[in-house]
Chain A
Amino acid sequence: MTHLVEMTGVQKSFGGVHAVDGANFHLDAGEVVGLLGHNGAGKSTLMALLAGALPLDAGSIRVDGRPVAIRSPRDARRLGIEALYQDLALADNLPASANLFLGRELTGRFGLLDEAAMERITHEVVHRVNPAFRDFQGPVKSLSGGERQSIAIGRAMHFEARVLILDEPTAALGPAETREVGRLVGRLRDQGLGIVLVSHDLHDVFRLSDRVVVMKAGCIVASRRTEDTHPDEVLEWIIAGAQRDAARGTPVRPESV
């Protein structure tokens, strides 16, 4: 069966650090994958490779079973892969509509920006995500973490993303906003998106995901349907690695913690 996204044997090193070391990862449409692992396990790097923010050292990526070359964020977006980063990468000095359309602005006659159209669409889309959103005029600097996130999620919705990468989406949010993100993730999944939820919060992941994938030292060490596992077992994988490296089928030495 073909997956929406399939990453095979991907590698990425920074100098001597093997941040991603031959990981195999896949994602299906209408599925929420919780990607877990210690700090430094390589989760963000793996997702950056998928989002085109970093070039691959080795390995391959398929989308709908077709091999693709993702060399830049632009390439990724063209394939319907949107990422929402840990640090909520928005241009703080620009208003909501400029951020939602950043890199894909609507233009009218003479190639001039069609601000009115972009604002109108931003109102519609962001209100669908977050009916309480108010400040469309000011720079996004003054918005709350949740409001900023509604812009980023609105971006994915408007451009009809098929894959949404949420890297620690709740790290900057309060409890109410965290629940709101959870609700949105569910809604987007029901619309058929494949969603990767990067987190080190076991509770979040168990609440929201259909499948749990664990990374350790740059490798995928476990992948299990959420309903078939238990937080204690996952914690064990995170700390010690799985009995077998699920991805490569090679044994992983349990490390002393």
Chain B
Amino acid sequence: MQTGLDPRTLGLGIAGLGIWLLLDFASDGLFLSPRNLYNLAVQSSVVGVMASGMVLVITARHIDLSVGSVLAVTGMVIALLQAEGVAGSGLWTWPAAVAVGLVAGAVIGASQGWWVAYRAVPAFVVTLGGLLVFRGAAYLVADGRTVAPLAASFGALGGGVAGSIGETASWWLGVAAIAGFAAVTARARTAERRHGFAPRPRWLDAARVAAVALAVGGFVAVMNAYPRPQSDLGRGIPVPVLIWIASALVVALLFRATRFGRYVSAIGGNPQAAVRAGIDVRRVTLGVFALMGVLAALAAVITTARLGAGTNSMGTLAELNVIAAAVIGGTSLAGGRGSIAGAALGAVLMQSLENGMVLLGASSAVRQIAIGGVLVAAVWVDVASRGRSEAA
């Protein structure tokens, strides 16, 4: 009987907790302060949004090195439409600008996917080219200028001063999330019984719900403990974190509960078997890259809203953090295995290292060295554990 607890995810959570305590100790309690955790949550959301897409890309045995550049070019489009408009169109409202940005992300992703799927150019090459092409395109959108100011209400999407939903709404949302998780768990039990399977032990499901309730409750409490400026009122859950959670849930649903996601796994497990099962491997591959493009554009929404501007250097080297988040989270570079929840944890872990090193006064040079080291170590763990399970 499955416990429903992925040992990797669990191990990752424990490792993360250890790193948090270490960083907190080293920073004299700054790291685990509500203020820093709020910022950490906001910072993690950019990488987190993209990491869930990267899970699908890597599970299908591909890679996307262009996500940081796609973030930049779509972010520039979103910023330019709001701040200046195009061809005398006047200023665009931010929802319209965001819609255009997301569509642009989908088109960019699909076009890269087309080269991979229909022209059989390795994804490594296509997206390495894309890394340059779209970084260059981001520069050309506004001739290298920084584009500002953006619509005032747009800033909320970045988690700034007005970018959180307040104490009361946060509690309600937390309660709703716990109730939702409990309901899904209960439904799964009924479905299993209806089909004549023994469900998981009741205490295990109860423990899972309790763990989720504790995590959600703790998260809301911390976010509420960070007050708004000149006020006693807590900020509550940041909007970008909500965007992250919502997008990760949608991607997780696609991955785990639809044919599309099943085919992504099958392609990663055995591409030949997928073809022989009548799966349109090329269309699925194109879809995976298109989804990745949309998520890069969604990350661009958060980034531009946080900055209050569009700059062509946004998202530089983001691909490394995103890939590291996915791999640390248990997605195998050999394909066929990936975890959206793991990638979310991986994103928090990567951002914790970055954030913690900033708190400790590490230079950006030192931070780069550390992130690079972590990336290699994470892949090594993946390779080593794969070797073990194959030998077993």
Chain A interfacial positions (CB closer than 8 Å to B): 51-53, 72-74, 77, 83, 85, 87, 89-94, 98-99, 102-105, 107, 111-113, 115-117, 119-120, 137, 139
Contacts and interface: CB of A to CB of B under 8 A. Distances in A.
A85 B257 contact: no
B265 interface: yes
A89 B196 contact: no
Contacts of B265: 91, 93-94, 98
B275 interface: yes
Contacts of A119: 195, 197
B266 A72 contact: no
Given A91-B265, A98-B262, A111-B258, A117 B274 contact: no
Contacts of A91: 265-266, 269-270, 273-274, 336
A92 B1 CA distance: 19
Interface string B163-195: 000000000000000000000000000011011
Contacts of A93: 265, 268-270, 336-337
Interface in B266-301: 266, 268-270, 272-279
Contacts of B262: 94, 98, 102, 105, 113
B182 to A, nearest CB: 19
Contacts of B266: 91, 94, 98, 102
B278 A103 contact: yes
A139 B266 CA distance: 11
B273 A112 contact: no
Q: Which of B191, B197, B278, B337 gathers most chain A CB within 10 Å?
A: B278
Contact of A89 (B2, B195, B253, B270): B270
A253 to B, nearest CB: 36
B145 interface: no
A137 B258 contact: no
30 contacts: A51-B276, A52-B278, A53-B276, A72-B278, A73-B275, A83-B276, A87-B272, A89-B270, A89-B272, A90-B270, A91-B274, A93-B268, A93-B270, A93-B337, A99-B273, A102-B273, A103-B278, A104-B278, A105-B262, A111-B258, A112-B257, A113-B257, A113-B262, A115-B257, A116-B192, A116-B195, A119-B195, A119-B197, A120-B196, A137-B1
Interface string B1-17: 11000000000000000
Contacts, number: 82
B276 A89 contact: yes
Interface of B: 1-2, 191-192, 194-197, 253, 257-259, 262, 265-266, 268-270, 272-279, 336-337
A73 B270 contact: no
Contacts of A137: 1-2
Contacts of A94: 262, 265-266, 269
Contact of A102 (B191, B258, B277): B277
Contacts of A89: 270, 272-273, 276
B277 A103 contact: yes
B269 A92 contact: yes
Given A53-B276, A93-B270, 8 more contacts: A91-B270, A92-B269, A93-B268, A104-B278, A112-B253, A113-B258, A113-B259, A116-B192
Contact of A73 (B1, B194, B276, B336): B276
A72 B269 CA distance: 21
A104 B274 CA distance: 12
Contacts of B336: 91-93
B197 A103 contact: no
Contacts of B191: 116
Contacts of A51: 276
Nearest to A140: B269
Nearest to B390: A141
B259 A90 contact: no
A102 B274 contact: yes
A24 B123 CA distance: 42
B270 A92 contact: yes
A103 B279 contact: yes
B197 A105 contact: no
A83 to B, nearest CB: 7
A103 B279 CA distance: 6
Nearest to B332: A93
B59 to A, nearest CB: 9
A91 B195 CA distance: 25
Nearest to A139: B269
A120 B270 contact: no
A51 B337 CA distance: 29
A137 B259 CA distance: 19
A119 B273 CA distance: 20
B68 to A, nearest CB: 29
Nearest to A111: B258
B278 to A, nearest CB: 4
A54 to B, nearest CB: 11
A99 B263 CA distance: 11
A80 to B, nearest CB: 13
A111 B258 CA distance: 7
Nearest to A91: B269
Contacts of B196: 120
Nearest to B272: A89
Contacts of A77: 278
A69 to B, nearest CB: 15
Contacts of A111: 258-259
A89 B259 CA distance: 19
B60 to A, nearest CB: 12
B337 A102 contact: no
B195 A117 contact: yes
